[in-house]
Structure 1
Amino acid sequence: MKIKFSNLGSIQETELDLRPLTVIIGPNNSGKTYLAYSTYGLWQRAGRTIRIQYVSNNLKLNQQGEGTWSLTIDNDLLDLFIKDAEETAKNFQGSALESFFQDSSRKLFIKTAFKIMISRQEVENAIHQLTQQKAFSLMGGSSIKISRQDNILSFKIDSEIEEIDTSANNSLTDLFDHLNERIILSFILIIKKLLFSNAFPFPAERNAFINTYKMLANRRYKLLKETQRELFSSSSSERQLDLLKEQGDIRYPQPVEDFLDFLSEIELEEIPKTNSSNKNEFQKLADEIEKQLQNKNKTNLKPTKLGGKEIKVLVKKGLEIDIYNASSSVKQLAPLLLYLRYRASKGHFLVIDEPEMNLHPESQAKLLEALSILVNLGVRILLTTHSPYIMAHLNNLVNGNHENPEILKRQSSSLYLQDERAFLPIDKVSAYEMKDNKLVSLNDPDYGIRWDTLSDVAVDIQQKFFEIYEAGQEKADETEE
C-alpha cells in the first residue's frame, strides 16, 4: 500500500510505501509528524467510510437459491475497493483536514491533498482472510457462512434463521430494499476493515498525557472538545470560535484526542484476570518488555477504593507506586504495555511518534526488537524517529537468514532479547529519510538499510573536535614564541 502526499507542511510532494514496519528518520520540523498523523487519519477513514450508492450501483449478487447468493471475484470487484480508497483520500481535505488537525489559522492545509494506492493483490489477500473465517455477521443480527471455489464466493444465511428482522436498523432498510443488498454492504465493510483495521496513535506527548488523561477526558472536556470540533467543520461565525478559544485551549489534533480516549476506554473496561497459563503472545511480550527495559517493574491497571481504576507500577513485592511517580522511561512505555495487555490483536495498526523518547540507547534497541516481534505477530507499525541507534539496529534486524531457521536461531543469540522473531525480511520493512522536504528510501537490496541522517552529524561533531583541538594547538605555539 502506498500513500502520496502533496503540499503537506513543507512537503511539496512525496510518496510512502507502507509496509508491515515503516520507519521515518529526519531532523526536527521536517514534517515527520504531519506524515504520521495524516497516514493515521487516512487509514481511519478508509476503514470506516463507504459510499453506499456507489456500491449498490456497481456490485450485484446472483441469487442461487433460497438464502444463498454468489459473487464473482473479478477485476471489477477488486477495483471497487481500490477506487473507494482513492475517493476517501480525495475527500480528506479542506474543512475535514482543518478539523482533524484543529488548525485555527485555516491556512496550513489549504492545498494539501492525498492519494491512497492499494493493489489488487492486497484486496485478494483480504478476501482470502475472510474466507478463512467460519462466518461473518450480517447487518441486522444474522450471520452468513462464506465459501470460495475458484473465483466464485458463495454466501449462505444461517439455516436456523428463516426471516431477517430489519426493524433494528431503519436507516439501512430505507437505503436497501432487498436482503442481497444488505449482504453486499456487510461484505464490503468487512473487507474494508481487513484492509484498514483498527489504528492506534501514540503521540510524542504521551509521557505528559499518561499523567493527566483522567482530567482531560472528563465529561466537561469531552463536551467542549466536541463542540469546538463541530465549529471547525461548520459555517459558524468566527466570533463563536474566538469565544471558545478564550475559554481555554482544549484543542488537540485528532490522533492526540484518540490517544486520550484509548487510555480512558481501557480504564473503563472490565479487565479479565490473567495468569501465566492463559496469557496470549501479546501479553507475554509485555512481560518481556518489563523484564528487559524496566528492571522487572510491572505496569498495570489496578482497582481503586471508589470503584475506578488507575495505572500502578509494581517496583517490588508489596510496593506499588503511582504512574506519575515512576521514571520517565516507565511513563513512556506505559501506553504500549497497556495496549499489549488489553487491546492488541492481529491486523491492528500502530502509529508511534518517537518511540525512543526517554530511553537509554540500549533500551531503544531492545524496544525496536520488541516492536519487530509485534510486527511478526501481525501488527502493522509506523515509526517516526530521530534515533541513530534505532536505524543502526534496524539494519541488523533485516539481515537475518530467514531461509534457514537453524541459522536464524543462532543469529538471534546476538540480539538483546535473543528472540528470532525480532528478525524481519527486508520486504516487510520500508525505511525513509526526510531530506529536502521529501521521503528518500533507505532500502538497499544488497546491504539492507542505509541511513546517514544522524551519522553525518556524528562525523561532523568529530571533525569539529579536530578543528577545535588544532586551533588550540596553534594558539599555544604562538604563546610560546
Structure 2
Amino acid sequence: HKSVIQRLNMGLTFFFIDNLAENIYLPAERIGINVFRTRLNNQVVNENFSNPVEALTSKPATNERYPYPIEDYIKYLNNSLTYLDHNYDQQMSVSERDLLSKLIPGHFFYSEDLNQIRYRLPGDTTQEISFNLVSSSLKSLLGIETFVKHHDTFSWLLIDEPEMNLHPTRQAMMANLLYQLAKGNTRVVVSTHSDYFIKALINDILASKVADKEKHIGMTTDVSIYEFTNNSVRQLGDLTDETAFTNFDETTDKINTRYYDLLDQLDEEDAGPADE
C-alpha cells in the first residue's frame, strides 16, 4: 500500500510541477491568507533585491517563510487582484452565476490606495469592509471568485476542503458549482471530508444520468473518486453505485442509532415502573 501511495504522490507531483502555469491550487490555509499577504510580499521583494555578497557573508536570513502552497496561493492572488473588478465570464451558465451570487452575495475588490482586499456589502455600493473583517466562510471563497473571473487561463483547479467554514446548504452549493465547472473545460481536483459535499455531487451525477444514461457526466471516465484511509488508497468507482461509497453513511448511522437509543432510555425513565 505504501508503494502505491508513493507512486501516486510522485506522479501527481511531477504532473503538476510540469504544468504549474495551467494549475491553480486553493489550500486549506486560504482563510487567513490576507493577514500575511503583504508581509510575505515585502519579504520576497527584500530577498530578491538584497545584496547577494552580503547574503553570503551574513547570518542566515531570519525572515519567516511559509510552505510552498501558501506562497504560491499568495502569488496567485497578487497577480489576480485586478480581476476582482471584472464581471463574471460571459460564457458562464445561468446556474453558475446564480450559485456564485448566493455563495458570494457581495463583491470583493482591491483598493490600491490601501493595498488591501476589501468586500463591498450586498445591496449597497457605498458600504465596504476590510477582507480581514469578513466571515471565515467568505474568506474561503475569495480564491473561487478570482478563479471563475478568469478561469479560461487555467486548465486545472485544485482545491483543498472546498466545504471549509461553509454551512451545509452552502457546501451543497459549492459542490454544484464545481460540478458545473467540471462540465466545462476545467479539470477539478478536490479533497473533502464533507458528507454534504459528496452527497450533493452524487445527486448532480444522478441527475445527469437520468437525463442521458449513455453519455451522462459522471461516468468513471469523467469522475474518479479515491478513498484515503489507514495508510491505503482505494478507487471507489461509480459514485452512483450505492455500495461504492459508504464511509460517511456508517458514521451517520452510528450517531443516529445512539441518538434514538438515548431518547428511548429517557422515555423509559419518564414513564417509570409499569403499574401492576
Q: Shorter-chain TM-score category? A: 0.7 to 0.9
**Counterpart residue number, 1:419:** none
Distance 1:335 1:346, change over 3 A: closer
| Structure 2 counterpart SS, 1:257 | helix
TM-score w.r.t. the length of structure 1 is: 0.47
1:326 maps to 134
Quote the residue 2:254 is aligned against. Answer: 460
Q: Which amino acid aligns with 2:65?
A: I
Could you list the per-position Cα deviations for residues 144-172 of structure 1 after superposition, in whole angstroms to 9, with x for gaps in the alignment?
A: xxxxxxxxxxxxxxxxxxxxxxxxxxxxx
Q: 1:385 to 1:226 in 2, by over 3 A?
A: farther
**Which runs of structure 2 are paired with 1:159-308 in the superposition (5 Å)?**
198-218=22-42, 220-221=43-44, 244=61, 247=62, 249-252=64-67, 254-267=68-81, 274=86, 279-282=89-92, 287-294=97-104, 296-299=105-108, 301-305=109-113, 308=115
Does structure 1 retain, via aligned residues, the 8 Å contact 2:26–2:160? yes
Q: RMSD across aligned C-alpha pairs, in angstroms?
A: 3.9
Q: 1:325 to 1:47 in 2, by over 3 A?
A: closer
**CA drift at 1:322:** 1.7
Task: Identify if the C-alpha distance between structure 1 residues 289 and 16 changes in structure 2 by more than 3 Å, giving closer, same or farther.
Answer: farther
Q: How does 1:384-423 map to 2 (within 5 A)?
A: 384-401=191-208
The answer to whether the 8 A contact 2:175-2:198 is kept is no
Higher helix share: 2
| Distance in 2, Cα, partners of 1:41 & 1:455 | 32
2:145 alignment counterpart: 337
**Number of residue pairs the alignment of both structures matches:** 262
Q: Distance in 2 between matches of 1:364 and 1:458?
A: 17
CA contact (8 A) 1:225 1:250 kept: no
Distance 2:201 2:242 in 1: 9
Give, in angstroms, the shift of residue 395 of structure 1.
1.3
SS for the counterpart of 2:245 is: coil
Give the greater-gyration-radius structure (CA): 1
Instruction: Give me the whole-angstrom Cα distance separating, in 1, the residues matched to 2:15 and 2:139.
Output: 27
TM-score normalized by structure 2? 0.76
Matched with 1:43 is 15
Give the gaps of 5 or more residues in structure 2: 51-55
Q: Could you tell me which residue of structure 2 aligns to residue 424 of structure 1?
A: 217
Rounded Cα–Cα distance in structure 1 between residues aligned with 2:87 and 2:158: 29
Tell me if the contact between 1:355 and 1:385 (Cα under 8 Å) persists in the aligned partners. yes
Q: Does 1:357 align with 2:164?
A: yes
- Using the alignment, how far apart are the partners of 1:312 and 1:460 within structure 2? 42
Identity %: 20
What are the superposed Cα offsets for residues 189-208 of structure 1, whole Å, 9 maximum, x if unpaired? xxxxxxxx611111001001
Q: Secondary structure at the match of 1:434?
A: strand
Amino acid at match of 2:140: Q
Alignment map for 1:22-33 (pairs within 5 Å): none
Whether contact under 8 Å (2:111, 2:118) holds in the other structure is no
Q: Given residue 197 of structure 2, which amino acid in structure 1 is its aligned partner?
A: I
Deviation at 1:326, TM superposition (A): 1.5
Cα contact 1:398–1:448 (8 A) shared by 2 = no
Map of 1:435 onto structure 2: 229
Quick check: 1:348–1:380 contact (8 Å CA) kept in 2?
Answer: yes
Corresponding residue for residue 178 of structure 2:
371
> 1:260 is matched by which residue type in structure 2?
I
List gaps (5 residues or longer) in structure 1.
1-5, 18-34, 49-196, 228-235, 408-422
1:296-345 Cα distance to aligned partner (Å, 9 max, x none): 2122x234337x5633333332212221221221111111101211x311
Which SS does the other structure have where 1:201 is aligned?
A: strand
Which residue is 1:13 aligned to? Answer: 4
Return the structure number with greater relative CO, CA threshold 8 A, min gap 6.
1
